[in-house]
């Protein structure tokens, strides 16, 4: 049971993630854009962030940098489905900027949840 | 008185004669020619002072000498004597020769011998005049050298040049023009008109009239009909050659072959088009991936809610199967638009090619002959072996489909070529000293040129709807471009097609750090041996310990060994001797829970949901599987 922030501009996908994580008894916060994710970030109750990379206004890379600044211990998972520069390179950039895990869309939600729980339980070995 | 008068008349006459002789002598002496009188014994009887000056002697030392003594015996015998003998038969002789004179050295002379007859008409002497024509000769030679030089230039110039009369009839054409028009010199008949090469004669008349009005003009690109009836795009300019009356006496044309220019322009256009489609497709794929992630997420949730093996659960599995297929298509689009990161390792192209040929030989109809010539044993490129396999398999499958009634020959070649040699062939920057050149040639039905320009576009297919996605060649294009390589095609209707694949040779060798694998044991349950070999090529260097098994008995032995059990199983669905249900049965019997990755073919429906739902399948991948996908799946499964 942890506080998870979902930053994803696709409403359906965001909702799906929210439902599946709520089912696992996590507290889920959600937002559709990166700027809001940064301005409304509540460090006290958020343990992990799942963020899309290509979004209007502020993109996911900025979210990763900012949230790391605001809360260095936060776990970050980047998800992306491909864009002009290619999902691979964006995701790799996200990893370089400090994302703990990366998932390429479409991913298996079960794999994502497994990863989230692994990160939250502190077993992650880098 | 009378006698005196007579005497004085005679004196006067003699004086007159003497004066006349003096004038004549003076004229002869001052002539710029060497003048002499020669008798039948080849002896000089008289010479003028120009003769003496040229020999730097006085008259007395020449008169009485033979020609042989003056010019040397050899020259006399070889050059002079015949001419003199001929002159004594009564003919005037004129010839040119080089003589050496003490005054000026070797020079060109024109020699004239004229016979002199006595009162009986007998030729006793001849009159010789030798005129220095050296300067004339030199300037003549220079002029002819200049002309020759110009002629050579005009002949060798890669630009077609031709001169027409006022009717348009071709008076002269250089070699380049003949080459461009695929003509032989004998095709240049006198009546050949420039008009004949134009597809539309009225168009020519219009242009020609402009030129007749003394205007030089560049006509841009015009397609001319060449000698073989084919159209050649040419850049044409015309220049009237205006005479002293101000009228064009001739019309000159410059004809440049712009086929290559056009071809490059077309290729650039193609590349830009593919780039645009790629960007567009990539954007769409991005949206679709979001949608698919949502669908797959909800169906996974549903699957968790439903009792295992229930009819509803099987329906959800079908949704998941469909998502997987959609994902595979999107992946192909992304591969084409080069938006999928490829994991590249140094890989020997010849090895991948050999495995592909082996695979194809077992799968293609027996009447299709497959010939291969692999020139280089080891040719490393940086690539994902599974992607290379995909490229080769695709090209060979296309070749097979181009053959009519499943009969014909597919020839595959591998050569290594120098980078600088192919600079003009490929449209990309040369990035390596050497390139692997793969040629895939078929004896099939070939393609129309209009088709050829579009074959790399995604969803472009000549097959009936439902047969093939039309993504094959676009994916091939994407993979090769991602490797900094190039694919080109040439084709002739009813003759067949040739695909050329250029891949930069890598100097890197497969000895980079193998840290990912961490010595985990992977058991590979083989399907087709060639395809399995490709996967192992891909994974061999990742630091995993690979084991291969293709029969049930050995599988049981390996899995029963508790100490040495593999950490992961990769199962390929076309494994002939181990069925998925055998695998599941074994797992149940031994009560083991080793993670499995299943790699299946989306076109083969042999895969039952209950196997996928059995719980042992950790990851399910659809072919084609890239190295990146398989390494990700392995890493996730081993967690």
Quick check: A94 and A61 in contact, CB under 8 A? yes
Q: Which residues of B touch A87 (CB under 8 A)?
A: 334, 339-341
pLDDT above 60 (res B499): yes
pLDDT confidence bin for B127, thresholds 50/70/90 = very high
Q: B454 touching A, CB under 8 A?
A: no
Question: How many Å lie between the alpha carbon of B323 and the closest alpha carbon of chain A?
Answer: 9
pLDDT confidence bin for A124, thresholds 50/70/90 = very low
pLDDT for B604 equals 61
Nearest Cβ partner for A20 among B279, B295, B301: B301
Stretch B590-601: mean pLDDT: 82
Q: Which residues of B touch A85 (CB under 8 A)?
A: 339
Q: Which residues of A touch B295 (CB under 8 A)?
A: 106
Answer yes or no: is A49 within a domain. yes
pLDDT for B514 equals 47
Strands B93-101 and B44-47, sheet pairing: unpaired
Quick check: A21 and A4 in contact, CB under 8 A? yes
pLDDT for B612 equals 64
Name the phi and psi angles at A23, rounded to 5: -60, -25
pLDDT confidence bin for A30, thresholds 50/70/90 = very high
Quick check: A68 and A44 in contact, CB under 8 A? no
SS (H, E, C) chain A: CCEEEEECCCHHHHHHHHHHHHHCCCEEEEECCHHHHHHCCCCCCCCEEEEECCCCCCCHHHHHHHHHHHCCCCEEEEEECCCCCCHHHHHHHHHHCCCCEEEECCCCHHHHHHHHHHHHCCCCCC
Report all structural domains of chain B as residue ranges with CATH numbers, in order of start.
19-138 (3.30.450.20), 157-257 (3.30.450.20), 260-339 (1.10.287), 345-504 (3.30.565.10), 513-639 (3.40.50.2300)
**Residues B283, A12: C-beta atoms closer than 8 Å:** no
Q: Which residues of A touch B323 (CB under 8 A)?
A: 106
Answer yes or no: is A113 within a domain. yes
Answer yes or no: is A9 within a domain. no
Quick check: B432 and B506 in contact, CB under 8 A? yes
pLDDT for B429 equals 79
Q: Which residues of B touch A81 (CB under 8 A)?
A: 285-290, 293
CA-CA distances (angstroms) from residue B380 to B51, B224, B301, B399? 84, 45, 46, 25
Of B33-37, B357-361, B552-556, the one with minimum mean pLDDT is B552-556
Q: B543 touching A, CB under 8 A?
A: no
Residues 269-308 of B with CB under 8 A from A: 279, 282-283, 285-298, 300-301
For testing the chain B interface, which of A82, A102, A109, A119 should be mutated: the one with the most B CBs within 10 Å? A82
CATH assignment at residue A85: 3.40.50.2300
Answer yes or no: is A125 within a domain. no
**pLDDT more than 90, % of chain B:** 20
pLDDT above 60 (res B515): no
Of the two residues B522 and B464, the one the predictor is more confident about is B522
Report the Cα–Cα distance between both ends of chain A, in Å, rounded.
23
Taking any CB pair shorter than 8 Å as contact, residues of chain A touching chain B are 10, 12-13, 16-17, 19-20, 23, 54, 79, 81-89, 92, 105-111, 114, 118
Answer yes or no: is A58 within a domain. yes
Of A79-93, B279-293, B457-471, the one with minimum mean pLDDT is A79-93
pLDDT above 90 (res B506): no
pLDDT for B633 equals 82
pLDDT above 70 (res B595): yes
pLDDT confidence bin for B229, thresholds 50/70/90 = confident
pLDDT, one tens digit per residue, over B377-406 is 788 898 888 889 989 999 998 898 888 777
**pLDDT more than 70, % of chain A:** 90
Nearest Cβ partner for A81 among B286, B300, B301: B286
Q: Which two tokens stand for residue B305?
A: 């809610």
Number of domains chain A contains: 1
pLDDT for B287 equals 83
CB atoms near residue B318 (< 10 Å): 11
pLDDT, one tens digit per residue, over B328-341 is 888 888 887 777 76
pLDDT above 50 (res B555): yes
Entry field: residues in chain A: 126
Q: Which two tokens stand for residue A7?
A: 């930053």
Q: Is B292 exposed, middle or buried (0-12, 13-18, 19+ CB in 10 A)?
A: buried
**Residues A86, B340: C-beta atoms closer than 8 Å:** yes
Nearest Cβ partner for A82 among B286, B297, B636: B286
pLDDT for B610 equals 59
pLDDT above 70 (res A87): no
Kindly report whether the global pTM for this prediction surpasses the value 0.80: no
pLDDT for A1 equals 80
Q: Which residues of B touch A84 (CB under 8 A)?
A: 279, 282-283, 339
Answer yes or no: is A64 within a domain. yes
Nearest Cβ partner for A84 among B279, B301, B639: B279
Nearest Cβ partner for A108 among B296, B298, B639: B296
Residue of A nearest to B279 (CA): A84
Residues 5-64 of B with CB under 8 A from A: none
Residues 311-350 of B with CB under 8 A from A: 323, 327, 334, 338-341
Question: How many Å lie between the alpha carbon of B315 and the closest alpha carbon of chain A?
Answer: 18
Stretch B597-616: mean pLDDT: 67
How many pairs of residues across A and B have Cβ atoms under 8 Å apart? Answer: 87
Quick check: B279 and B285 in contact, CB under 8 A? no
Question: How many Å lie between the alpha carbon of A20 and the closest alpha carbon of chain B?
Answer: 7
Residue of B nearest to A81 (CA): B286
**Residues B289, A108: C-beta atoms closer than 8 Å:** no
**Residues A12, B291: C-beta atoms closer than 8 Å:** yes
Nearest Cβ partner for A19 among B283, B295, B301: B301
pLDDT confidence bin for B93, thresholds 50/70/90 = very high
**Residues B290, A81: C-beta atoms closer than 8 Å:** yes
Of the two residues B543 and B85, the one the predictor is more confident about is B85
A48 Cβ neighbours under 8 A, 6+ residues apart: A2, A3, A4, A5, A74, A75, A76, A77, A116, A119, A120
Q: Which residues of A touch B301 (CB under 8 A)?
A: 16, 19-20, 23, 109
Residues 577-636 of B with CB under 8 A from A: 628, 636
pLDDT for B608 equals 57
Nearest Cβ partner for B293 among A13, A89, A92: A13
pLDDT for B35 equals 92
pLDDT for B82 equals 92
pLDDT confidence bin for A107, thresholds 50/70/90 = confident
Q: Which two tokens stand for residue B69?
A: 């003594």
Q: Which two tokens stand for residue B343?
A: 């994991």
**Residues B301, A81: C-beta atoms closer than 8 Å:** no
Residue of B nearest to A88 (CA): B341
Q: Which residues of A touch B636 (CB under 8 A)?
A: 111
pLDDT for B272 equals 82
Q: In whole numbers, what is the pLDDT of chain B averaged over residues? A: 84
What residue numbers bound the domain in which A109 lies? 15-22+35-120
- Closest to B160 in 3D by CA, of B177, B141, B173, B175: B177
Stretch B220-243: mean pLDDT: 88
pLDDT above 50 (res B79): yes
């Amino acid at each position: 049971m942890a506080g998870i922030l979902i930053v994803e501009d696709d409403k359906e996908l965001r909702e799906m993630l929210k439902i599946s994580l709520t089912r696992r008894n996590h507290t889920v916060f959600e937002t559709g854009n990166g700027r809001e994710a940064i301005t409304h970030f509540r460090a006290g109750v958020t343990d992990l962030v799942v963020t899309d990379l290509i979004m209007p206004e502020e993109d996911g890379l900025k979210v990763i940098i900012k949230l790391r600044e605001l809360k260095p211990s936060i776990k970050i998972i980047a998800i992306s489905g491909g864009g002009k520069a290619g999902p691979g390179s964006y995701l790799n950039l996200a990893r370089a900027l400090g994302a703990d895990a990366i998932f390429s869309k479409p991913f298996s939600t079960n794999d994502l949840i497994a990863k989230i729980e692994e990160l939250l339980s502190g077993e992650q070995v880098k | 008185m009378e006698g005196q008068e007579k005497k004085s008349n005679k004196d006067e006459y003699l004086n007159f004669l003497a004066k006349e002789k003096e004038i004549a002598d003076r004229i002869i002496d001052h002539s710029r020619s060497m003048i002499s009188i020669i008798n039948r014994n080849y002896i000089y009887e008289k010479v003028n002072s120009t003769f003496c000056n040229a020999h730097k002697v006085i008259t007395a030392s020449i008169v009485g000498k033979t020609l042989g003594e003056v010019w040397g015996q050899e020259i006399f015998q070889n050059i002079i004597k015949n001419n003199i003998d001929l002159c004594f038969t009564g003919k005037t002789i004129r010839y040119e020769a080089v003589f050496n004179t003490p005054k000026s050295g070797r020079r060109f002379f024109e020699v004239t011998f004229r016979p002199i007859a006595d009162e009986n008409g007998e030729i006793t002497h001849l009159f010789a005049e030798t005129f220095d024509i050296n300067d004339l000769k030199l300037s003549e030679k220079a002029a002819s050298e200049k002309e020759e030089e110009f002629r050579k230039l005009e002949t060798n110039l890669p630009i077609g040049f031709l001169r027409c009369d006022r009717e348009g009839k071709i008076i002269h054409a250089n070699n380049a023009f003949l080459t461009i028009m695929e003509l032989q010199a004998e095709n240049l008949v006198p009546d050949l008109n420039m008009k004949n090469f134009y597809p539309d004669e009225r168009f020519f008349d219009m242009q020609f009239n402009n030129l007749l009005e003394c205007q030089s003009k560049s006509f841009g690109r015009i397609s001319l009909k060449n000698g073989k009836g084919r159209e050649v795009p040419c850049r044409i300019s015309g220049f009237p050659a205006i005479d002293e009356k101000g009228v064009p006496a001739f019309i000159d044309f410059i004809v440049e072959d712009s086929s290559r220019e056009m071809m490059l322009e077309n290729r650039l256009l193609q590349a830009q088009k593919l780039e645009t489609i790629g960007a567009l497709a990539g954007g769409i794929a991005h949206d679709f991936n979001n949608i698919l992630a949502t669908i797959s997420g909800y169906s996974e949730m549903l699957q968790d809610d439903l009792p295992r093996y229930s009819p509803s659960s099987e329906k959800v599995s079908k949704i998941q199967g469909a998502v997987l297929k959609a994902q595979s298509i999107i992946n192909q689009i992304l591969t084409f638009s080069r938006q999928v990161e490829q994991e590249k390792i140094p890989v020997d192209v010849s090895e991948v090619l050999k495995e592909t040929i082996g695979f194809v030989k077992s799968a293609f109809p027996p009447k299709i002959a497959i010939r291969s010539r692999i020139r280089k044993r080891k040719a490393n490129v940086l690539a994902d072996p599974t992607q290379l396999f995909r490229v080769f398999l695709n090209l060979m499958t296309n070749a097979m489909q181009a053959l009519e009634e499943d009969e014909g020959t597919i020839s595959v070649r591998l050569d290594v070529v120098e980078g600088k040699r192919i600079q003009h062939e490929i449209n990309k920057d040369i990035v390596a000293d050497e390139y692997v050149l793969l040629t895939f040639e078929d004896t099939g039905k070939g393609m129309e040129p209009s088709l050829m320009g579009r074959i790399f576009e995604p969803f472009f297919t000549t097959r009936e709807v439902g047969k093939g996605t039309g993504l094959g060649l676009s994916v091939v294009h994407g993979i090769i471009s991602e490797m900094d390589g190039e694919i080109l095609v040439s084709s002739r209707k009813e003759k067949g097609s040739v695909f050329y694949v250029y891949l930069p040779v890598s100097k890197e060798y497969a000895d980079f750090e193998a840290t990912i694998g961490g010595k985990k044991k992977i058991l590979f349950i083989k399907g087709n041996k060639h395809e399995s070999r490709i996967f192992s090529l891909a994974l061999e260097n990742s630091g995993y310990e690979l084991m291969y098994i293709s029969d049930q008995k050995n599988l049981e032995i390996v899995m029963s060994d508790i100490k040495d059990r593999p950490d992961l199983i990769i199962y390929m669905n076309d494994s002939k001797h181990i069925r998925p249900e055998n695998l599941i049965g074994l797992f149940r019997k031994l009560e083991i829970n080793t993670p499995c990755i299943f790699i299946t073919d989306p076109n083969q429906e042999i895969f039952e949901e209950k196997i996928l739902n059995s719980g042992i399948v950790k990851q399910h991948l659809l072919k084609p599987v890239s190295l990146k996908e398989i390494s990700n799946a392995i890493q996730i499964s081993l967690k």
